[in-house]
Amino acid sequence: MIDLHIDYLDETNSVQQEELDMIEKLFHSIVKMENLSGEMEVSVTFVDNEKIRELNRQYRNIDKPTDVLSFPLEDETFESDEPMPRFFGDIVISIPKAKQQALDYNHSFQRELAFLAVHGFLHLLGYDHQTEEEEKIMFQKQKEILEKHGITR
């Protein structure tokens, strides 16, 4: 059974409920596709370009804004008598960058937001695109999830 909790923080006050609902559906599809079960948590924060630039500089030594950052939680074991939810980590999305990229790629803001959310979540699950093979696998999964929900360019 899947029990996925998503904590949203919108520092831009611009993300609509329908967009949050879309992200939740996409994340549930990924969890199902990956055959994950149990209680899980993920955090998604929407920020401006300056905030994501600070994070990019601090954690990646790249002094420019980016579209999405993922911060996977390291696997740590905590002693507890109570079952604990699995916390995947944090996803940070720049709303201004997403809006600009939607214009640049000639598709909707919702499509770009969906892509960035899926991309970030897959990173939390350990997917990457450092090599051609990794990129092929990750981008195929992104495409499959988005198309399943009718989200196309």
User: Residue 38's pLDDT band (boundaries 50, 70, 90)?
Assistant: confident
Distance CA 116, CA 57 (A): 19
Is residue 41 in a domain? yes
Helix axes 17-33, 132-148, angle to 10 degrees: 120
Average confidence score pLDDT of the chain: 92
Q: Residue 35 sits in a domain of what CATH number?
A: 3.40.390.30
The pTM score is 0.91
| pLDDT surpassing 80 at residue 71 | yes
Query: How many structural domains comprise the chain?
Result: 1
Is residue 153 in a domain? no
Is residue 39 in a domain? yes
Is residue 96 in a domain? yes
Is residue 31 in a domain? yes
| pLDDT surpassing 90 at residue 115 | yes
Residue 106: the pLDDT is 95
> Phi/psi zone of residue 91: left (φ > 0), alpha (ψ -120 to 50 degrees), beta?
beta
Residue 87: the pLDDT is 87
User: Residue 37's pLDDT band (boundaries 50, 70, 90)?
Assistant: confident
